[in-house]
Amino acid sequence: MAERLSLWDLRFKYRVLFPALSHLPRYLSYRLASLYGRGEFRRNEEMATQIAHQMRRGIPGLADQAYQQWTRYFYAMQQREILDTWYYPGLMSAEQVGRFIEVENFESVLSYRREGRPIIFAGAHLGRFWMLGVTTASYGIPTSALARDDEESNTWGLPEAEFQYRRLKLSRLRDCYRSEFVTPGVSNMRPLLEALRERPIAILLDVPYGKGSPGLVSVPFFGQDGYFPEGPIKIAKRVGAVIQPFSVDEHRRGVKLNFHKPVEVEGRSSEALLALLVSDIEQRIRQNPGNWWQWQALPMYWGEV
């Protein structure tokens, strides 16, 4: 009975509730999505406890209230990110984006594009990270991305309503990014390299892999050895790309996309480059731990599973 109610709730959420919220004034709609997130926090007590436990392992020594507060923030942020899906069609032009997304340090990106340099936008599963390509494409820079979701088959065994929502989301994101996405395991390296020579590609560096997976490099991460894929560094070296770190943060009027100091790969080892990039990611996670989607995967980064 509980499972049937949960499936009905998902159908209602994706087919009725969130589409209806998107017709309200933007500030109100996101406030209501945040309230829905509070309900998700209460309904998913076991998972919320697991997330808080991993936060405590990564950032020990704080009062229980801090971890609970960060976890509540995560659930609210998650629902705001889901609601973004119904706003993507209205974020196609620079004027539309400018009313919702604040951009900082965009000059370096424009300079590299004028020079014809390949660019890898390097980020993490932090906040509403998909807004990167929504923004760059609206300013005339079509952007591709690596995506693990396959729109044609439900490889993750999601409930049907969840799977159809993912398909809708990726379809709208492709429209906003003005580019196709690359799915690892489906596309080989050659099309990826060719695409990178034509347009920037967004790669999230904090994709977790199981213990002993090939191509992982050990770098410091939350006080232990963390294992991260070397692939993005090898790709950057192969085509002479600059790595452009980015982050997306929330504020009351919308979100802020910040481009951080670019990283040149020439003459530097993969270990040194990954250590630099992962250190920057860890620093941003620590600024707002509730903004990171991957706390449950912390044991994978640490090579425990």
Three-class SS state of 61: coil
Contacts (Cβ under 8 Å, ≥6 apart) of 155: none
Reported as a single tens digit per residue, the pLDDT across 14-36 is: 999 999 999 999 999 999 999 99
Q: What residue segments make up the domains of the chain, in order of their start? A: 1-302
Alpha-carbon dihedral sign for residues 151, 83, 251, 46: negative
Tell me, what's the pLDDT at 2? 46
CA–CA dist 278, 254 (Å, integer): 26
All residues at 6 or more sequence positions from 12 whose CB lies less than 8 Å from its CB, including other chains? none
Range picked from 7-16, 114-123, 155-164 for highest mean pLDDT? 114-123
> Quick one: average pLDDT of 140-158?
84
Residues 6+ away with beta carbon under 8 Å from 149: 156, 166, 170, 183
Residue 256 scores a pLDDT above 50:
yes
Span 216-242, pLDDT tens digits: 999 999 999 999 999 999 999 999 999
Minimum mean pLDDT range among 156-170, 177-191, 228-242: 177-191
